Chain A
Amino acid sequence: MNKSLTLKPIRGLSVLLALLVLTVMIVIPLIQIFIQSVYRDGELQLAAPFRTIADADLAQVMLNTVWLGICVIFGTTLLALPLAWIMVHTSIGRIKGLEVVLLIPFMTPPYIGSMGWILFMQKNGYLEQLVPALGRLAPSFFSFGGMIAIMSLHLFPFLYLLLRGALERIGGSLEEAASVLGAPAWYRFRRIVVPLLLSSFGMGAMLIFVKTIAEFGTPATFGKRIGYDVMTSEIHRYVSSWPIDFGKATSLSSLLLTVCLLMWYVQSVVNRRYTYSLVGGKGSRRSAETSRGPVLWLGGLFVLLLLVFSIGIPYFSIVAASTMKLRGEGLSWSNTTLDAYRELLSFGTPGMKALMNSIWLALAASSIAAVLGTWFALVIRRSKTIGQRSVDLLSLLPNTVPGIVIVVGLILLWNSPWMPIPLYNTAGIVILTYVVLFVPYTVQYVKSAAGQIDGSLMQAGQVFGGRPWYLLSRITLPLILPGILAGWTMTFTIASRELVGSLLILPPSMQTSATFIFAQFEQGQVSLGMAMAVVSVGFTTVILTIMESLGSKRKWNKR
């Protein structure tokens, strides 16, 4: 009793401190955007953002963005729904490792994937060289349809995971019960599967929409080439190239921010009210009846084609371009060389410097994010009080807010004339940006790890005489360590290839692997840029694999 009483003020203080840190890190930058967008010439003009948008022909950009979001929902559905069905209902789902392979498109930075597609489809690109007959079709890929295809191929795993989970739970006894009670296949599909799938699908579709309109990599590479402007690419233009116009940038940012927050709110309401708990008990089992024959063949073909399009083509193009000796010569063994890698990986070259920058920035950011995220997660605990719930909400906010909006907010705050801390234009601001962008990963992983710790474990520790700090170090920390490691790994992986923050906020003389790739692809040596892409994706994959195998070696994680 005594101990918990003395701990209370510390806990309260901790919550307050966490809220303060989050406010400085996340809330103030976002508020800056709103303030900047409504304050013009020293006075408050609430209508200013709308006027700016109406004046500057930005309405078209907004429409473009929304239309892209809707079309990508359609595209991802077309890919994810059949895939989920195949993986649940045929023996293809039991192929080892396929589950992990299907996540690769999602883990591939979208700008790299887009570059792969551009290299493959452009004039005299790899498609034309491999199958000259199809070469004539290639130009038509550089269109709105191509953009939808690229983004859908990047985002589909996200929807797939949601649909697969729902289908698996339905496919057990819920569908069997209908079958025993006399419902033929089509009736079961109509009355049981579709209604139950709908809530999961709605959820996934909303998240896909938010992810699409927040996406920067593909619009910045492919979208720019076909002249399809969306909000993120326009924001980037107004803050990075002359004439710089923060009025337009903040107006667009606040609009984008509002849409995303609104979607997120609707989604959480829908989630709370209309989702049926489909949690299967121990009785839920994988449906034993699987399809054979033509269905299996068609399913296999579908999965194979999907893998070719989502992984095969982009990666083939990137690797091929990175080993190309002369651009005009085309694909042949005699035209391959590892010169680009040699140049990239030798000491002192700009490429090597950029790579090293990426690594140490990501290391610093992921370590800070791991510490902060763990602290937030422990403060949140079971989010009972308002303070804890606010920490929960704020620390996960960067997941919902588009990266470019956060970056603009950080620029506004740290570059403002009254800011006493000279962080802007140093490496520090880059690390801060990464931390803000990716702290939700650690918070989520640690939260879920801590959620599995039963209250009785702590009580047992107390009964056996453990003091609070002893309990934290001997019980809580070891049990949440896998969560911390997962958060660290994820943050490191994503931060080391992050594009939008790096493009906007890096000090002038500094480059990271992402900006290096971007610059080389736009105007420079494509082979050098693509070699960097291979290296950066390669080494982050190695690190992911190492951490994964370390995690699975833990005894108590094994079933």
Chain B
Amino acid sequence: MHMDLYIEGLSKTFGPTTALHPTDLIVKEGTFTTLLGPSGCGKTTLLRMIAGLEAPDTGTISIGGDTLFDASRKRSTPAHKRGFGMVFQDFALWPHMTVFENVAFGLRTSRRTQDLKQTVTRALEKVQLGAMMDRYPHQLSGGQQQRVAFARAVAVQPRLVLFDEPLSALDASLREEMRVEMLSLVRDLGLTALYVTHDQIEAMSMSDEIVVMHSGRVLQRGTPEEIYAKPTDPFVARFIGRSNWITAASPSAEPLQATNDADLDPKKNPPEPAVTLAMFRPEHLRWEPLGEGACDAYEVEIVQASYMGDRYEVHVQADGQEERWTAYYDCRIPAGSRMTVYLPRKKLHRLNAVPKS
């Protein structure tokens, strides 16, 4: 039986502000889906509504044929009957319970106390905390608290695990370590995960599917590769990875009109689009006209070169372009020098900046 999560037309307003416009979302069983967006984009509100901690205004939430929320029929399953697991941003470990009791909590509430000790031990061993069972949360380090929070959320074998920016309370080096560890655990246990973050690296490295959100709307959804290579919205392009922009009006962009871009759907591409925007990623800018396919050449002036260890990050100003570009190079170039750069046409990605209604 499928345990996919279906969300249809879900929306929420807080007083005068709309936290979430009507939104549809599907989370397939066994996948890792990430809601990505800047703070205040509605991603946490969406997650909390799925958890049952916030009441939506409209729409439905269902999982595997089981309707959890239906605004039109005024039906709402309370949070404690939804059978989910959740990892909170501040971990929310109960300070008066030991690590063992924290993890056992969900099993006790669902009366699955038969092999309680074994189940809890197994969950804690998974996160390498088997020896810490009798400690209290305040005796643990940040990373260990995070692991307990994770073990607590998955010990009940939930239909869906919700993650509310779980790594943001950790410092940078620990965050990377926990990211790898958590992902492998989620995969190991075959969990369905919905993950909220504002960190694009977390989103890109962990997810099967990313849902990019902004001001209460879903802008784009797709695999990390799709989101990175073919952003459909300028905001998505700028928010994820680095982007270099080509102004359509500029003379050097003329070749654009000649290319026959198969990616653009003719239906979506009316004869006179409002503005045509085009972007490419820094790693695609070449310093020699090599490689497959046709290239466009641009005259650039080097503004600044910064050494990054594995490469130089070069800021260049192309003639006739409004925005500076970023490119990568393998040796130092003095600022002020003039060079020619080449961009393979295939790597140019065009988007229609549809004026927002």
Contacts and interface: CB of A to CB of B under 8 A. Distances in A.
Interface in A269-285: 276-278, 280-284
A281 B85 contact: no
A322 B240 CA distance: 72
Contacts of B135: none
B27 interface: no
Interface stretch (B51-59, B223-231, B347-355): B51-59
Nearest to B155: A181
Contacts of B152: 177, 181
Contacts of B96: 195-196, 276
Contacts of A16: none
A196 B94 contact: yes
Given A182-B106, A184-B80, A176 B94 contact: no
A414 to B, nearest CB: 48
Interface in B51-70: 51-55
Contact of B85 (A180, A278, A280, A289): A180
Contacts of B164: 283
Contacts of B53: 176, 179-180, 288-289
A272 B37 CA distance: 41
B86 interface: yes
B279 interface: no
Contacts of B92: 172-174, 176-177, 283
Nearest to B84: A180
Interface in A177-201: 177-184, 187-188, 191-192, 195-196
B95 interface: yes
A85 B66 CA distance: 34
A183 B88 contact: no
B109 interface: yes
A181 B90 contact: no
Contacts of A191: 105
B116 to A, nearest CB: 14
B129 to A, nearest CB: 18
Contacts of A196: 94-96
Contacts of B88: 173, 176-177, 283
Contact of A284 (B80, B85, B90, B138): B90
Interface in B158-214: 162, 164-165, 169
Given A176-B79, A277-B95, A278-B95, A181 B89 contact: no
B122 interface: no
Nearest to A198: B96
Residue of A178, A179, A182, A281 contacting most chain B CB atoms (<10 Å): A182
A180 B52 contact: yes
B169 A283 contact: yes
Nearest to A184: B80
A281 B90 contact: yes
B340 interface: no
B82 interface: yes
A281 B105 contact: no
A278 B91 CA distance: 12
Given A181-B109, A288-B54, A173 B89 contact: yes
B83 interface: yes
B110 interface: yes
Residue of A174, A180, A183 contacting most chain B CB atoms (<10 Å): A180
A80 B223 CA distance: 54
A182 B80 contact: yes
A183 B109 contact: yes
B301 to A, nearest CB: 39
Contacts of A180: 51-53, 79-80, 82, 84-86, 162
B157 to A, nearest CB: 12
A312 B79 CA distance: 42
Contacts of A282: 89-90
Contacts of A179: 52-53, 78-80
Interface size class of A (residues with CB under 8 A): 20 to 34
B212 to A, nearest CB: 22
Contacts of A280: 90
A179 B138 CA distance: 22
B156 A181 contact: yes
Contacts of B80: 178-184, 188
A507 to B, nearest CB: 55
Contacts of A188: 80
B290 to A, nearest CB: 49
B108 to A, nearest CB: 9
Interface string A138-162: 0000000000000000000000000
A192 B101 CA distance: 12
Contacts of A178: 80, 94, 105, 109
Contacts of B109: 178, 181-184, 187
B74 interface: no
Nearest to A287: B53
A311 B328 CA distance: 72
A180 B160 CA distance: 11
B169 A281 contact: yes
A183 B105 contact: yes
A280 to B, nearest CB: 6
B81 interface: yes
B213 to A, nearest CB: 19
Interface in A243-296: 276-278, 280-284, 288-289
Contacts of A195: 96
Contact of A182 (B54, B83, B94, B162): B83
A181 B82 CA distance: 9
B307 to A, nearest CB: 29
Contacts of B153: 181
Nearest to A288: B54
Nearest to A195: B96
B94 A174 contact: yes
A523 B109 CA distance: 66
A173 B90 contact: yes
Contacts of A177: 86, 88, 92-94, 152
Contacts of B95: 196, 276-278
Nearest to A274: B96
Given A195-B96, A277-B138, A283 B52 contact: no
Residue of A177, A179, A282 contacting most chain B CB atoms (<10 Å): A177
Nearest to A177: B92
A5 B78 CA distance: 64
Contacts of A278: 95
Contacts of B138: 276-277
A263 B80 CA distance: 41
Nearest to B48: A288
A283 B93 CA distance: 13
Given A184-B78, A281-B89, 9 more contacts: A173-B92, A174-B94, A177-B88, A180-B79, A181-B152, A183-B80, A183-B109, A196-B94, A196-B95
5 contacts: A181-B85, A183-B105, A196-B95, A288-B48, A288-B53
Interface of B: 48, 51-55, 78-86, 88-90, 92-96, 105-106, 109-110, 138, 152-153, 156, 162, 164-165, 169
Chain A to chain B: the 7 pairs with minimum beta-carbon distance, closest first: A276-B95, A283-B89, A173-B92, A181-B106, A283-B90, A182-B109, A177-B92
